[in-house]
Structure 1
Amino acid sequence: MIRFGIRMSLAGGREAATRLAVIAAAVALGVGMLLASVAGMNAVGAQNQRYAWLNSAIAPQSAEHDPMWWTVREDYFHARSIGRVEVAALGPDAPVPPGLPRVPAAGEYYASPALVDLLGSTPPAELGDRFPGRQVGVIADEGLPSPDSLLIVIGRTPAEVEQLGGRQITQMMAAESAGCDGCFIGLNGDAMTLVLSVVAAALLFPVLIFIGTATRLATTRREQRFAAMRLIGATPRQISVIAAVESTLAAAVGTLAGFGVFLGMRPVLAAIPFTGEPFFAADLSLDPVDVLVVAFGIPLGAVVAALLALRRVRISPLGVSRRVTPRPPGAWRLIPLVGGLVELAWFIGRRPDGTNAQLTAYLSGFVLILIGLVLAGPWLTMAGARVLAGRASRPAALIAGRRLSDDPRAGFRAVSGLIVALFVTSVATGTITTFVANRGAPRTDSVAATSLSKTFWQEDGAGPALSQIPAGLAAIPGVRSVTLVHVNPDPEGWQGVVTCAELARLARFGTCPPGAQTAAVSSDLLGRRDLTKDEHVWAASTATPAVAEAQPILSVVVDTTSRSAFEQARTMLELAFPAGRFPASVAEWEANNARQLVQFQQLANVIMLASLPVAGCSLAVSIAGGLSDRRRPFSMLRLTGVQLNTLRGVVALESVVPLAAASVVAIGMGLLASHLFLRAQLGYELLAPGPSFYFMVGAGLAVSLGIIASTLPLLRRITGPEVARNE
């Protein structure tokens, strides 16, 4: 029977060959997406592994190598982060950072390719003058988290690194930074694991739905064919073997082609910044377990789907012709959806204590809503179809509405994967947009972005003398002001103090209260106020102007009118004060703190952009299968005078209604769940997502509708009068 099944699949005429090709192509696309999502998760882990050596200061030390002085700090250029590693080997057997042939000597440095390009295209006064010595090589890929990483390893003398606050190490850290305590460079392991789990589910669910839909292509036609074979004597076991062979053959061909699709997509996928930075193409890899699970799991799943689809044939060959309208889905399916919303709403004003309790409370609510959406989907589809049929003014709308209301489960099945993707994306977008807005992300033209400060914290030693402040700062073209903030002698106020005359001269850093002579201020003259506004009234200080100006210098604040002046001032301050934290703007610190939120948002966008076309492909395959199954009814309708455009309208509405309903409900529930979470956890009101969110949703739906529209020309070919005569 196996050979007979192969013969029927390969030599069963044009219809069998077309079915085999369509199923194989659909499975290939689904497998390609599946492998891409798995490889993407592996790439995130590989990228995080590449951060490990930058955390060597906390690595366990041993006596196997000579010690080396080591320090890692973060510099900035045009708001981009630069990893700056400064080393000094204390012997010939000192550990060598990955990607370097040797430890650079004093006066030498190795830079990443992206930083080398940046140095070559930027005036030295803005960037290159910060790095002492000469370039002796380029950091190889094994030492870089990403092709776009800005990283430099500078050789210094042991005394210099010690003065910069370094420590001695004897080996490079090799463990993944996500799995260590105290790592300060890399991705947050727990948070990334949770997010990647959600990403995997959100991507895999629509892909698996797509593959399942493809393997069920032309189910009705196959049932009729197998029922006829049963009537002439074939046993249920023989029918099962033939069906399994057909499905396995198509799925195996599609799976093999899917690996080719993945390999072709890999260079494009590597350039997508899932985590904020692109990947190396080699990081998008598959381990042997991934390959085996996909290579054998997809054909096995196709066999299971085929056998389940033929359950009526195995029971009785006459069961195929004894079709009745299935029972409509009940309203009880809404219970989990409502329960999840009620759970999130209940925690408003009752926020759980502790991270674990909060994760349990909120995550269970989100999962319950998601399950409820998938479970309630057929009922919502039926309700929408009945509204469509009740308000129909044209035959196409009436036929489509009645057909969807008769079998809403089939109508919803193809778009069920879309529910997961849009819900996850809407929750992420709503939450991140509101969080960033309420934390006061500064405008790019605000004082928080145009001014930078160098603070001399107590742990870095006493502040500099006035004579140590670079005299050339104020002479840089584009520098608006240079302000010295002194240590506030009153420990109850802000840590800094300036005179009210100075604040009045600056005009961009706030004002004094009426009658005050000095004001207590933050070291950067901004503090924890609304950074989108320049107006601010500081509290008065008890110090007189003379006492205030006699205090040690706490910080230097430079305000600029251009990016060139900003970077030149930063370079000058770094050369004058190489120890401690490098000067930066509040906008850069805020962007750095929000980096992981941006990464999560990018992952959410990837889910949506990938899932919408997959949902469209699922619908297209479902449409193609439905057209094949309904060739005779449609051809009879055409013989009775029904226009071809009317039939096209029926097919389009049967596809568009579930797609639109699923999108609206998923986005609405996602934003509502986000609102309830924000109210319960942070006390924020949900802010509407930006235009980019709606643009991506619209673009994804447009692609899906375009895929659906590509199937409509089949109607003319399969509904001619010869079909009614030959069936």
Structure 2
Amino acid sequence: MSLPPSPAGPARWARDLAMGMRFAAGGGRAGRVRTALTAAGVALGVAVLLLGASVPGLLDSWHGREQARENPGLLHPPRPADDTLQYATADTTFHGNPVRGRLVRPDGAHPPVPPGIERLPGPGHMLVSPALKELLDSPEGALLRGRLDYTVSGTIGDAGLLGPGELTYVARPAALAPADGYRIDRFGEGDGPPPLPASAVLLVVMVCVALLTPVLVVIGTSVRFGDERRERRLAALRLVGADLPTTRRIAAGEALFGSLLGLVAGGALFLAGRQLAPAVTLWDINVFASDVTPGPLAVALIAVLVPAAAVVVTLFAQRGVTVEPLGVVRHRPPVRRRLWWRVALPAAGALLLVPLTAERPWRDTPWNTARLAAGSMLLLWGVVALLPWLVQAVVGRLHRGPVSWQLAVRRLQLSSAPATRAVGGITVAVAGAIAVHMLMTGMQAGYARAYAESGKEPRIGLSGEARDWPRTQQALTALRATPGVTAARGYVDALAGPPSTGSKGPADPAGGTVVVVGSCAELRALARLEACHDGAVFTAATGRGATVTAGATLDLKPPADADEPARTRVRPWTVPRGARTVPLLAPGHGSGHVVPDVLATPSALDIRALDEPTVEFTADFDRGTPDAVEHLRNTAARIDPALRELSAVDNPHDARLSGIRTGLFAGAVLTLLLIGSGLVVSTVEQLHERRRLLSVLDAYGTRRATLGRSVLWQTAVPVVLGLGLALACGLALGALLLTMTGHAVTVDLPVVAALTGAGGAVILLVTALSLPALWRLMRPDGLRTE
């Protein structure tokens, strides 16, 4: 039997690749296992690549829906008409989850309607998202039902939601004062996506690097599963007349078949996995499954590059072996692994990253981002490159020990390439996971310290539009009567200016004067008042320039800029001659949200004469009272749904970072298990190759336990060395990243221990799954020959 004459050019490639694909499809049970492992590794990589390619489109869809349903208002709002409405923000928080609220009041019969809503709700009614409706209908939403005192008359469609898990509502109160919002005549004027903070950009870049680098290694490793069995089959092809180039193309065809199966399986895994997208919320981003869609160009590139990479990797690997007839595979003389270029990779990465630590805080510029990504990848690839040299250097110096140890060491001395290839994936996955977990742990600890510092006193600040002092007093009474509230303070502040000169020039911001109106008890929270009565006025030395003196006149309606239309004039207000100068309390004491220039009691200055007066409340609460914060928010909603909350009660970063950490840890463990499966195949193939030697050892009385331990050491040595490199690289990279962000260097010891333990579990798993094959091969029948 001999192979038919080879065609020329592309036809020869096509024939040889097709033959290799047939061998991969019909290679018996062992061949199918190898093909399945190759497909599984490639499928995991393809699914991650498709997910990464979906992120730009996902964010565009998310921000597009946000922009389509908003209108932040204009400097010159439209006049009331049949197609306008009054619009106000009424956001709140419930048990740490943000609840987006919008209040509307149509001016006519044809008001604008946001996406996802057919018609606006009637007076006293609201439309809610499906997630909010489910929460309101559940026992957990009882307190929230008391806050949203409207009748649910329908749900908001997907076009009006950022994601299926979003908590949002659109309500129409019985009355909506003009001061509570602004007038609009259309939706779709929302602001563009806000820029991510530098720390978030750094985290995103590192997550991408930590995910994609192991993916590339896994794909490269997966297409080489079963190399030794494949080379024996290629030797048989040499016997029937195939030349070396033909055998290499056939080997590439086998890898191509597994990669194509992995490509299809990866696409299916991606389509199935994206159905879980609605259940995932990261950084307050929750999307629909249809949003997770990669672009056509990205899909085409992945579909072409992944199989092409499988062919290239296999052809490159075949250059290191010489396949001869009669079932002989002779490797070329071992070449001494050179160290200089392996050290150059992490050194170049360090040279890119270390200078970034001097730039505090780290700035998000294109150049810095490129250096961060390139430096991190070079460090991780340097670990993969260093591992083969380290394994060869270490095992070359290991000699003494029990029989099981010597058998394992000798095997690694003869050929450590299959083990180091697989362990390289473990190394880079663990190193990247440790670095990112350190970064997130440091950031999380920094946020926790900041929130703990700002939240030492259990306190919530509330801010909104002021109407008159009697309503402010009623609000203070309601706050003080709230369960769990221990104290409540409040005042009204506004910005005044010098009397208008009639010129068209813009107002001088530096000349603005902060006026605070409140009762004597409330003003004592801002300044030290020896004597006070209703009708008194005080001035304060603020250190911001000239102090307002008694007898000065203030313009209570200062123009914002030169283009502002003429306002309804009010008589300039004169600071009474008897106003005394008082010292202010230390900043941050009491309810000191502002630094006032003038302090007045309600009888001395009518709030309604001020320009856009703002009421500021501060409420202290008892942490021991169950749901004290939620009761306080309910009271604030009854006072004015548009009140804005200013507090450090909830730390949203904990849930965000914990979710990412959990996902990365799960991904790293999955990668370890997949690569461990490849190690099982490699170890079993090596046992089959040594079946005659194993039969000889069995005939001489070598115990099975001795050979079992040799398999354990053979797996353990590369894995332990790889984990050592991963720990060193991951800790160094994590320390560099934390230094860039200005956070204290914190080691995520539970994750480091868990990943190290997972690496040890891989060793035990490989050994346990290899023992049945070892027992089958340790038989005298293995000495029979023809």
The TM-score bracket by the shorter chain reads 0.7 to 0.9
Does the CA contact (< 8 Å) of 1:675 and 1:686 recur in 2?
yes
Does the CA contact (< 8 Å) of 2:20 and 2:250 recur in 1?
yes
SS at match of 1:97: coil
Question: Residue 576 of structure 1 aligns with which residue?
Answer: 639
Displacement of 1:276: 4.9
Determine whether 1:665 maps to 2:725: yes
Q: Structure 2: where are the runs of 5+ without partners? A: 1-14, 496-512, 517-521, 530-581, 608-614
Q: Which amino acid aligns with 1:217?
A: F
Question: Residue 481 of structure 1 aligns with which residue?
Answer: 487
Deviations 1:251-290 (A, max 9, x none): 3334333434444444446534444555433334455445
The 1:11–1:379 alpha-carbon spacing in structure 2 relative to 1, beyond 3 Å, is closer
Deviations 1:496-555 (A, max 9, x none): 8628999xxxxxxxxxxxxx9984343775989xxxxxxxxxx9x9999x9999999743
Q: Which amino acid aligns with 1:416?
A: G
2:433 to 413, 425, 429: 425
- Number of residue pairs aligned between Structure 1 and Structure 2: 679
Question: Residue 653 of structure 1 aligns with which residue?
Answer: 713
Q: Which amino acid aligns with 2:184?
A: Q
Displacement of 1:110: 0.8
Following the alignment from structure 1 to structure 2, what is the Cα–Cα distance between the partners of residues 168 and 488? Answer: 25
Does the CA contact (< 8 Å) of 2:57 and 2:292 recur in 1?
yes
Question: Residue 234 of structure 2 aligns with which residue?
Answer: 226
Deviations 1:189-208 (A, max 9, x none): 99877755543443233234
Question: Residue 669 of structure 2 aligns with which residue?
Answer: 612
1:138 to 151, 155, 159: 155
Does the CA contact (< 8 Å) of 2:486 and 2:619 recur in 1?
no
Q: Structure 1: where are the runs of 5+ without partners? A: 503-515, 529-538
Displacement of 1:115: 1.6
Deviations 1:535-590 (A, max 9, x none): xxxx9x9999x999999974332313324332222221232234452x353223xx
SS at match of 2:261: helix
Question: Residue 637 of structure 1 aligns with which residue?
Answer: 694
Question: Residue 325 of structure 1 aligns with which residue?
Answer: 334
Q: Which amino acid aligns with 1:130?
A: R
Q: Which amino acid aligns with 1:564?
A: D
SS at match of 1:476: coil
Question: Residue 184 of structure 2 aligns with which residue?
Answer: 168
Displacement of 1:76: 0.9
The 1:697–1:49 alpha-carbon spacing in structure 2 relative to 1, beyond 3 Å, is farther
Q: Which amino acid aligns with 2:186?
A: T
Q: Percent identity?
A: 25
Question: Residue 755 of structure 2 aligns with which residue?
Answer: 697
Following the alignment from structure 1 to structure 2, what is the Cα–Cα distance between the partners of residues 399 and 436? Answer: 48
Displacement of 1:113: 1.9
Question: Residue 469 of structure 1 aligns with which residue?
Answer: 475
1:53 to 42, 56, 68: 68
Following the alignment from structure 2 to structure 1, what is the Cα–Cα distance between the partners of residues 369 and 147? Answer: 44
Question: Residue 7 of structure 2 aligns with which residue?
Answer: none
Following the alignment from structure 2 to structure 1, what is the Cα–Cα distance between the partners of residues 590 and 129? Answer: 31
Q: Which amino acid aligns with 2:264?
A: L
The 1:213–1:424 alpha-carbon spacing in structure 2 relative to 1, beyond 3 Å, is closer
Question: Residue 533 of structure 1 aligns with which residue?
Answer: none
SS at match of 1:51: helix
SS at match of 1:57: coil
Question: Residue 531 of structure 1 aligns with which residue?
Answer: none
Report matched runs for 1:139-154 at 5 Å.
Answer: 139-154=156-171
Displacement of 1:438: 4.0
2:290 to 282, 295, 298: 282
Does the CA contact (< 8 Å) of 1:226 and 1:239 recur in 2?
yes
Does the CA contact (< 8 Å) of 1:339 and 1:368 recur in 2?
yes
Determine whether 1:81 maps to 2:98: yes
Does the CA contact (< 8 Å) of 1:106 and 1:156 recur in 2?
yes
Question: Residue 260 of structure 2 aligns with which residue?
Answer: 252
Following the alignment from structure 1 to structure 2, what is the Cα–Cα distance between the partners of residues 355 and 18? Answer: 47
The 1:599–1:168 alpha-carbon spacing in structure 2 relative to 1, beyond 3 Å, is same
Following the alignment from structure 2 to structure 1, what is the Cα–Cα distance between the partners of residues 632 and 286? Answer: 30
Q: Which amino acid aligns with 2:170?
A: V
The 1:341–1:443 alpha-carbon spacing in structure 2 relative to 1, beyond 3 Å, is same
The higher radius of gyration belongs to 2
Displacement of 1:408: 5.2
More helix by share: 1
Report matched runs for 1:306-385 at 5 Å.
Answer: 306-311=314-319, 320-330=329-339, 333-338=342-347, 340-341=349-350, 344-345=353-354, 351=360, 355-356=364-365, 359=369, 365-383=375-393, 385=395
SS at match of 2:477: coil
The 1:716–1:274 alpha-carbon spacing in structure 2 relative to 1, beyond 3 Å, is farther
Question: Residue 536 of structure 1 aligns with which residue?
Answer: none
TM-score by length of structure 1 reads: 0.77
Does the CA contact (< 8 Å) of 1:449 and 1:585 recur in 2?
no
Q: Which amino acid aligns with 1:326?
A: V
Deviations 1:651-684 (A, max 9, x none): 33333343343334334433333334444553x4
The 1:276–1:403 alpha-carbon spacing in structure 2 relative to 1, beyond 3 Å, is farther
Does the CA contact (< 8 Å) of 2:210 and 2:429 recur in 1?
yes
TM-score by length of structure 2 reads: 0.72
Displacement of 1:614: 1.7
4+ long deviations beyond 6 Å: 58-63, 189-194, 313-319, 442-446, 459-465, 485-493, 499-502, 541-544, 546-553
1:623 to 664, 667, 680: 680
Following the alignment from structure 1 to structure 2, what is the Cα–Cα distance between the partners of residues 543 and 256? Answer: 72
Q: CA RMSD in A?
A: 4.8
Question: Residue 501 of structure 2 aligns with which residue?
Answer: none
The 1:306–1:447 alpha-carbon spacing in structure 2 relative to 1, beyond 3 Å, is closer
Following the alignment from structure 1 to structure 2, what is the Cα–Cα distance between the partners of residues 363 and 526? Answer: 44
Deviations 1:431-464 (A, max 9, x none): 34334434554678995584322246xx868877
Displacement of 1:83: 0.8
The 1:61–1:355 alpha-carbon spacing in structure 2 relative to 1, beyond 3 Å, is same
Question: Residue 131 of structure 2 aligns with which residue?
Answer: 114
More divergent stretch after superposition (611-620 vs 552-561): 552-561
The 1:201–1:366 alpha-carbon spacing in structure 2 relative to 1, beyond 3 Å, is closer
Displacement of 1:139: 1.7
Q: Which amino acid aligns with 1:586?
A: A
The 1:329–1:449 alpha-carbon spacing in structure 2 relative to 1, beyond 3 Å, is farther
Following the alignment from structure 1 to structure 2, what is the Cα–Cα distance between the partners of residues 141 and 257? Answer: 30
Does the CA contact (< 8 Å) of 1:125 and 1:571 recur in 2?
no
Question: Residue 509 of structure 1 aligns with which residue?
Answer: none
Question: Residue 511 of structure 1 aligns with which residue?
Answer: none
Following the alignment from structure 1 to structure 2, what is the Cα–Cα distance between the partners of residues 368 and 25? Answer: 26
The 1:55–1:394 alpha-carbon spacing in structure 2 relative to 1, beyond 3 Å, is farther
SS at match of 1:256: helix
The 1:276–1:340 alpha-carbon spacing in structure 2 relative to 1, beyond 3 Å, is same
Following the alignment from structure 1 to structure 2, what is the Cα–Cα distance between the partners of residues 379 and 221? Answer: 25
Following the alignment from structure 1 to structure 2, what is the Cα–Cα distance between the partners of residues 472 and 231? Answer: 94
The 1:670–1:171 alpha-carbon spacing in structure 2 relative to 1, beyond 3 Å, is same
Following the alignment from structure 2 to structure 1, what is the Cα–Cα distance between the partners of residues 361 and 203? Answer: 21
Q: Which amino acid aligns with 2:67?
A: A
Report matched runs for 1:231-246 at 5 Å.
Answer: 231-246=239-254
Following the alignment from structure 1 to structure 2, what is the Cα–Cα distance between the partners of residues 464 and 428? Answer: 54
